[in-house]
């Protein structure tokens, strides 16, 4: 068997394009045993045939015999399907031979960057498990996030076999879909060329690839139109055969799918679903982790590392960054913080099988953006002998050393102010718990090292603080589907939990820098039981607490009427829901107030050891919050909210 020193290509480079920027080949087949890549036009089966022919020619030239049938089958089985997608090569692995897929991966990295090589067939448990264990969730071929991206996927899928580009190619299943409109367009061709295309469609629509999917399928057609019609009609003159086939194809396709209209939502969604395959083989990892819908398509998975025999091995993509330190794409992909998170997990657990780190790429709350660091990360940590991975959320400290250096401060003051801010955050968390806010039960403060980039201290290693908590498997209150509120039992329990949470929220003066109350905007998580009913409400982040500590609480009645006003039209029994919300609000407020009055010294002394400054230190804010709590009549507060609801 011949094994070439360098990767040999039969055809063009996998990402080569024509003058219009279109890929010369949309598919490829790689043979790791002989280090050969085939990108010749056709389908994967014809590429394998071309490879065997070339290999036999090489053997004959070297004085050897041709491969026998058994050896040819062995070569076919030890090959890997590739799909070229824009500037990316997608590997479609055999789930039973992942080692072969990674051999192909290693060879492809001789031609293209690792960041441009992704994997398909990820709904298969073996494929996904192998990728996860290598800490390579970032190599999952992503689904589009917007209609425009769906359009790009569809348009980029158009490909030929041997003639015109008339097929929409599914990179997941290997099926090429021909639409009724594309079939109609063939009528503009000369008879000889038309006949060639009809024969091509007939031949390939009767064949199946090695994944048992048809090579060619008729988009949207029911079972009345199959390749069998071609055999019957191709006995006639080509023009009459074509007209009969076109009529039969039209009658088998619903009216709304007969025209290729990428702007039409139904046609676009139907085609996109077909291209993904019936079982949607590229469902994002956040779905499988059980994350709530707000996370769907909002996580960008990052390179990390894998664990082999207890040893941490960082992804080889970091070596590419070392060789190309000025590459903006590699800089963005190889997030320095991801390595720091992994270091901390390995130190904490010790018995890790794998870690995957993802960066949340969009804000999950409705509040406006503000100054300071806002980076949020999701970590998937799998321990040995534990069935399910642990999912944790990490949020970088808003004001750290980096932010203070960016303000032009010297290093020591920047370090001191960052540490003071950490204490301030933790003090606020303690104060919130003392005043009845139902926060996440566990939050850990950790640090990672990273290199500072700025006009001063550029390249300086600094330590950045982040806060880590367990993921809450529920729904953010502001993202609960309105259909849920058609169930009265759901409405009443929701109103009770939200009313209790509102009492703590108003007491601690939770607002943003624009003087807007922060409540019911993404941080309040409703936990739901197996019957679909709310069981608890947990506040995932205490951002903005103790910001407002001077105005009377009645001034915020409109903000605490707003969660009901926004949903009144959805509730089954609006007045009953309002009554439950306000009853829960008053009872919870009165309970916290009585708790303070009965144990006043415990509350008053909690932060006496902290510096007191009437310009706004936390100790001073704590005093003012308690004074306001003590003098507020919850019944008057309820009346103020009812007045807003009535108006």
* pLDDT tens digit sequence for 437-476: 999 988 999 999 999 988 889 999 999 999 999 888 888 8
Tell me how far apart the alpha carbons of residues 130 and 567 are, in angstroms, rounded to a whole number: 45
pLDDT band at 369 (very low <50, low <70, confident <90, very high): low
Are both 367 and 450 inside the same structural domain?
yes
pLDDT at 577: 94
Domain tally for the chain?
4
With pLDDT > 70 as the criterion, what percentage of the chain qualifies?
A: 92
Are 527 and 551 members of one domain? yes
pLDDT for res 421: 95
Which residues form the domain of 169? 147-276
* pLDDT recorded at residue 636: 95
pLDDT at 351 over 90: no
Q: What is the mean pLDDT of residues 321-337?
A: 89
CB atoms within 10 A of CB 223: 6
Confidence of residue 296 (pLDDT cuts 50, 70, 90): very low
The answer to whether residue 637 is domain-embedded is: yes
Please compute the mean of the pLDDT values over residues 413-437 and round it to a whole number: 96
Cα–Cα distance measured from residue 177 to residue 267, given in angstroms and rounded to the nearest whole number: 13
Q: Are residues 244 and 357 in the same domain?
A: no
Length of the chain: 647
Q: Is the pLDDT of residue 504 over 50?
A: yes
**Residue 140 neighbours by CB under 8 Å, 6+ apart:** 118, 119, 122, 131, 282, 284, 285, 301
312 in the same domain as 233: no
The DSSP 8-state label assigned to residue 291 in this structure reads -
- In the predicted model, is pLDDT for residue 514 greater than 50? yes
Question: Which CATH number covers residue 615?
Answer: 1.10.1070
- Report pLDDT for 344: 93
Q: Quick one: pLDDT band at residue 5, thresholds 50, 70, 90?
A: low
* 98 plus 207 within the same structural domain: no
Q: Kindly state whether residue 139 falls inside one of the protein's structural domains.
A: no
Question: Is 556 a residue whose pLDDT tops 80?
Answer: yes
The highest-confidence range among 188-197, 314-323, 552-561, by mean pLDDT, is: 552-561
CA 19 to chain centre: 34
> What pLDDT, on a 0 to 100 scale, did the predictor assign at position 232?
62
Each residue's pLDDT tens digit, 79-126 = 999 988 878 899 999 889 999 999 999 999 999 999 999 998 766 788
Does one domain contain both 357 and 492?
no
- How many CA atoms does the CB half-sphere of 411 hold within 13 Å? 11
Sheet holding 390-396, edge to edge: 311-314, 299-308, 352-360, 376-383, 390-396, 461-470, 443-451
Mean pLDDT of the chain: 88
pLDDT given for residue 178 in this prediction: 95
Tell me the mean pLDDT in the region 315-326.
89
pLDDT at 329 over 90: no
Q: What is the DSSP letter of 483?
A: G
User: Are 412 and 272 part of one and the same domain?
Assistant: no
Q: Degrees (nearest 5) of the Cα angle 291, 395, 364?
A: 50
Residue 284 is assigned to a structural domain of this protein: no
Task: Give a three-class secondary structure readout of 210-233.
Answer: CCCCECEEECCCCCCCCHHHHHHH
Contact present, 258 and 181 (Cβ < 8 Å): yes
| pLDDT of res. 447 | 96
Q: Please identify, among 449, 470, 491, the residue that sits at the C-terminal boundary of a domain.
A: 470
The pLDDT value recorded for residue 458 is: 92
pLDDT at 287 over 80: no
Helix residue ranges per DSSP H, 391-487: 401-406, 411-434
Question: Percent of the chain, pLDDT > 90?
Answer: 52
Interatomic CA distance for residues 418 and 423, integer angstroms: 9
pLDDT at 297 over 60: no
Lowest mean pLDDT among 130-139, 506-515, 588-597, 630-639: 130-139
Residue 307 lies in a domain: yes
Give, in degrees to the nearest 5, the angle at Cα 448 between 447 and 451.
Answer: 135
Strand ranges (DSSP E) for 108-190? 117-119, 158-159, 167-169, 176-178
Query: Per-residue pLDDT for 363 more than 60?
Result: no
Q: Is residue 129 part of a domain?
A: no
Nearest in space to 397 (alpha carbons), one of 465, 341, 312, 307? 465
- Residues 219-245, mean pLDDT to the nearest whole number: 82
Average pLDDT of span 567-571:
89
Show which of 276, 300, 327 is a domain's final residue.
Answer: 276
Whether residue 466 is found in the same domain as residue 483: no
Which range, 297-311, 367-381, 490-504, 511-525, is most confident? Answer: 490-504
pLDDT band, very low/low/confident/very high, at 274 (cuts 50, 70, 90): confident
The answer on 578 and 481 residing in a single domain is yes
Which stretch, 48-62, 198-212, 497-511, has highest mean pLDDT? 497-511
Looking at residue 398, the DSSP 8-state letter turns out to be S
Does the pLDDT of residue 480 top 60, yes or no? Answer: yes
Is 131 part of any domain? no
Q: What integer is the mean pLDDT of 289-307?
A: 66
Residue among 114, 121, 110 nearest 136 (CA):
114
**What pLDDT, in 10s, does the model give residues 585-618?**
999 999 999 999 999 999 999 999 999 989 889 9
**Do the Cβ atoms of 397 and 466 come closer than 8 Å?**
yes
By mean pLDDT, which of 242-256, 271-285, 344-358 is the weakest?
Answer: 271-285
Say whether pLDDT at 398 is over 90.
yes
- Is residue 42 a contact partner of residue 11, using CB atoms and an 8 Å limit? no
Residue at a domain's end among 215, 248, 276: 276
Write the DSSP symbol of residue 169: E
**Do 438 and 342 share a structural domain?**
yes
> Are 514 and 398 within one domain?
no
pLDDT at 233: 61
Q: Which pLDDT band holds residue 281 (cuts at 50, 70, 90)?
A: very low
Q: Is the separation of the CB atoms in 320 and 330 below 8 Å?
A: yes
pLDDT of 3 strictly over 70: no
437 plus 319 within the same structural domain: yes
List Cα–Cα distances, 175 to 91, 205, 274, in angstroms: 16, 9, 9
Of 257, 258, 167, residue with least CA distance to 216: 167
pLDDT of 22 strictly over 90 = no
Contacts 24+ apart (CB under 8 A), 316-324: 316/109, 316/114, 317/114, 317/115, 320/113, 320/114, 320/115
Q: Is residue 459 part of a domain?
A: yes
Mean pLDDT of 328-356: 88
Domain-located, residue 549: yes
For residue 29, give both structure tokens. 């087949």
What's the pLDDT at 634?
95
- Torsion angle, CA of 37/38/43/47, rounded to 10 degrees? -110
Q: What is the DSSP letter of 66?
A: P
């Amino acid at each position: 068997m011949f094994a070439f020193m360098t990767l040999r290509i039969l055809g063009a480079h996998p990402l080569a394009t024509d003058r219009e920027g279109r890929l010369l080949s949309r598919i490829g087949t790689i043979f790791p045993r002989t280090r050969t890549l085939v990108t010749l036009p056709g389908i994967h089966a014809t590429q394998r045939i071309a490879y065997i022919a070339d290999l036999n020619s090489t053997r004959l030239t070297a004085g050897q015999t041709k491969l026998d049938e058994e050896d040819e089958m062995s070569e076919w089985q030890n090959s890997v399907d590739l799909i070229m997608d824009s500037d990316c090569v997608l590997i479609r692995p055999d789930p039973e031979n992942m080692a072969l897929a990674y051999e192909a991966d290693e060879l492809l990295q001789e031609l293209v960057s690792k960041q441009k090589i992704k994997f398909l067939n990820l709904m298969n448990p073996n494929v996904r498990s192998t990728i996860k264990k290598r800490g390579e969730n970032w190599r999952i071929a992503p689904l589009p996030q917007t209609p425009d991206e769906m359009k790009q996927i569809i348009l980029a899928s158009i490909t030929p076999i041997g003639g015109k580009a008339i097929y929409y190619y599914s990179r997941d299943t290997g099926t090429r879909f021909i639409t009724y409109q594309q079939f109609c367009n063939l009528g503009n061709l000369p008879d000889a060329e038309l006949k060639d295309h009809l024969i091509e469609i007939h031949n390939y629509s009767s064949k199946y690839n090695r994944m048992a999917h048809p090579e060619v399928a008729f988009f949207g057609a029911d079972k009345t139109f199959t390749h069998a019609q071609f055999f019957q009609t191709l006995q006639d003159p080509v023009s009459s055969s074509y007209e009969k086939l076109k009529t039969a194809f039209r009658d088998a396709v619903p009216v709304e799918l007969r025209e290729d209209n990428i702007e039409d939502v139904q046609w676009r969604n139907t085609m996109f679903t077909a291209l993904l395959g019936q079982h949607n083989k590229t469902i994002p990892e956040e779905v499988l982790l059980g994350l709530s819908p707000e996370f769907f398509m909002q996580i960008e998975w990052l390179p990390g590392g894998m664990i082999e025999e207890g040893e941490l091995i960082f992804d080889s993509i970091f070596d590419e960054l070392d060789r190309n330190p000025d590459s903006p794409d590699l800089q963005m992909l190889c997030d320095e913080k991801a390595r720091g998170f992994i270091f901390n997990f390995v130190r904490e657990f010790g018995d890790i099988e794998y870690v995957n780190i993802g960066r949340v790429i969009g804000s999950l709350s409705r509040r406006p953006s503000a100054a300071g660091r806002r980076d949020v990360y999701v970590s998937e940590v799998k321990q040995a002998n534990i069935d399910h991975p642990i999912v944790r959320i990490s949020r970088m400290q808003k004001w750290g050393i980096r932010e203070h250096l960016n303000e032009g401060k010297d290093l020591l003051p920047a370090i001191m102010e960052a540490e003071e801010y950490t204490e301030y955050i933790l003090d606020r968390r303690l104060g919130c718990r003392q005043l009845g806010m139902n926060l996440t039960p566990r939050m850990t403060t950790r640090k990672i090292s990273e290199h500072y980039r700025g006009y001063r201290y550029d390249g300086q290693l600094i330590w950045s603080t982040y806060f880590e908590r367990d993921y809450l498997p529920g729904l953010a209150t502001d993202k609960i589907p309105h259909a849920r509120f058609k169930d009265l039992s759901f409405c009443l329990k929701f109103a009770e939990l939200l009313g209790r949470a509102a009492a703590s929220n108003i007491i601690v003066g939770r607002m943003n820098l624009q003087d807007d109350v922060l409540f019911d905007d993404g941080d309040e998580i409703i936990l739901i039981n197996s019957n679909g009913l709310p069981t608890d409400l947990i506040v995932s982040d205490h951002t903005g607490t103790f910001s407002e500590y001077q105005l009377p609480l009645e001034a915020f009645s409109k903000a605490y009427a707003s969660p009901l006003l926004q949903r009144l039209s959805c509730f089954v029994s609006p007045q009953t829901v309002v009554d439950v919300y306000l009853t829960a609000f008053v009872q919870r407020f009165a309970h916290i107030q009585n708790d303070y009055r009965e144990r006043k010294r415990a509350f008053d002394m909690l932060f006496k050891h902290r510096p007191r400054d009437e310009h706004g230190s936390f100790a001073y804010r704590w005093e003012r919050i308690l004074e306001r709590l003590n003098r507020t009549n919850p019944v008057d507060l309820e009346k103020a909210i009812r007045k807003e609801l009535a108006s």
